[in-house]
Amino acid sequence: MSSTAPFLKTGSRKVDYVFLQDEWNFTRDWTLTAGLRHDKYSDFGGTTNPRLALVWDTAQNLTTKFMFGRAFRAPSWIELYSINNPVVQGNPELKPETVSTFEAAVSWQVGSDLQVNANVFRYQWDDIIRFVPNAVPTTGSTAQNSGKQHGQGMELEATWDLSRDLRLTGSVSAQHSVDETSGLDAGLAPHRRYFGQATWRPLPMWTLDASLNHVADRKRQPGDSRGQIDDYTSVNLALRRERMFGNWEFRGTVTNLFDADVREPSLAPATNLPFDLPMPGRGWYVQLVHSL
């Protein structure tokens, strides 16, 4: 970086915020929690975001929740103030991204040994900050509030204690997101995900965890001509021994046991990462932890 042609403007950012929240038990079985937060940034202005949660004790073993929240992401320093860069230029006129989420959830204690949770959601993502190519191709891209996205999905999870020494946990989730500019699948995020875990205590002080994670059906972003991203399944194992030699604890972990080819999608046009971002293969870890 040259002192005569810096790539980033110098400066400072001050953030002030105020937050209010109240809880109202307006009947025996209904509770409303309402919150409001205002953030003021010295460089781009302020943003106000609410959140609401309505909780219904539907039955002794069943709880229902209805929730709404809005959050924001402030423009980064590079997105605002990058200069003299042949690849990306900042834009001091940027607004923060915002995302509004609606969610309904139920939690059912089926029995003393089984709990089931389920939820559905929908989100709206506005003023997405992207680097948009300039009219003159050789001048790179400039950060813009460009595009919107919406999506919906669901998740179902259960925890089952088969015995005092064995617990099974599992979940399945599905989602679909749409890029509103093109009307096409927004890509990147998996449409389906399956997770399972078994926790076993074969002996006092010993715990063995085995987990499986399957990620499926990830599309490319609109305009990305590369092939669909491969699904993957990864398996992890962990062994723990508590209170070994007094206050010592032993932990041994194997991640990605079968050395699956796990890759996370790279953003289009992906000239630097055409084959996506590879994740670590099989890994072995041993820890000794001492508690004072």
Question: According to the 3-state scheme, what is the secondary structure of 273-287?
Answer: CCCCEECCCCEEEEE
Mean pLDDT of the chain: 93
Asked whether residue 161 is domain-assigned, the answer is yes
Asked whether residue 235 is domain-assigned, the answer is yes
What share of the chain has pLDDT > 90, as a percent?
Answer: 80
Asked whether residue 263 is domain-assigned, the answer is yes
| pLDDT higher than threshold 90 for residue 243 | no
Phi and psi angles of residue 139, each rounded to the nearest 5 degrees, phi first: -100, 10
- How large is the average pLDDT for residues 122-147? 92
Asked whether residue 7 is domain-assigned, the answer is no
Domain region containing 220: 15-290
| pLDDT higher than threshold 80 for residue 169 | yes
Total number of domains constituting the chain: 1
Asked whether residue 49 is domain-assigned, the answer is yes
Asked whether residue 8 is domain-assigned, the answer is no
pLDDT of 156 reads: 99
pLDDT per residue over 11-49, tens digit each? 889 999 999 999 999 899 999 999 999 999 998 889 999
Asked whether residue 6 is domain-assigned, the answer is no
Asked whether residue 190 is domain-assigned, the answer is yes
| CA–CA gap between residue 270 and residue 185 (Å, rounded) | 18
Tokens 């403007």 sit on residue: 9
Q: What CATH number corresponds to the domain at position 235?
A: 2.40.170.20
Which of the residue ranges 2-6, 51-55, 90-94, 206-210 would you say has the lowest mean pLDDT? 2-6
Which of the residue ranges 38-52, 234-248, 259-273 would you say has the lowest mean pLDDT? 259-273
